[in-house]
Amino acid sequence: MNGYNCLFLDRDGVINKHRPDDYVKTWNEFEFISGSLEALARCSNIFRYILIVTNQRGVSKGLMSEEMLKSIHEQMVGEINQNGGRIDKIYYCTASSKDDINRKPNPGMALQALRDFPAIEFTRSIMIGDSDSDIEFGRRLGMKTIRVGINGLMEAMDLVNSND
């Protein structure tokens, strides 16, 4: 991962387990993928910035409030911090329309991140996700992309380490 300064991460399927045909609506439904906390601690020593970019249309569907989403994120970041990791900022899109500039694979969340952290260089960034839209998001911006399966972020770290 030498030469990369920013790590963009999807949330569901990378850090926490997906809920098939459902959304994580409460902290009790949030479950870290095994190894993701350890992987985030390792990443915290490597990257200047670690950012989450996540589509969360459960809010626009009325399944949860934006306040509930923020609460889940606060508790998630607290757990990550307690385990030696960090998240510099979370960007989320609650829109259900694929035309929304902030909904991945559109670049809106990355452009917000660039405004907040002007030192980000997309060509020196990595996007880790588990869906086509995550990978397309990264590719559109010139990032290195890593698609993961059920083992999430730990799987990505294993892939990177095997290529070093």
Sheet strand arrangement including 89-93 = 89-93, 49-55, 6-9, 125-129, 144-147
Q: What is the pLDDT of residues 112-134, one digit of tens each?
A: 999 999 999 999 999 999 999 99
pTM metric for this prediction: 0.92
Please tell me the distance from the alpha carbon of residue 154 to that of residue 148, in angstroms, as a whole number: 9
Please tell me the distance from the alpha carbon of residue 72 to that of residue 78, in angstroms, as a whole number: 10
pLDDT at position 145 over 80: yes
What would the two tokens of residue 48 be?
A: 């200047």
Q: What is the pLDDT of residues 89-98, one digit of tens each?
A: 999 999 999 9
10 assigned to active site: yes
134 assigned to active site: no
Pick the catalytic residue from 10, 99, 100, 134.
10
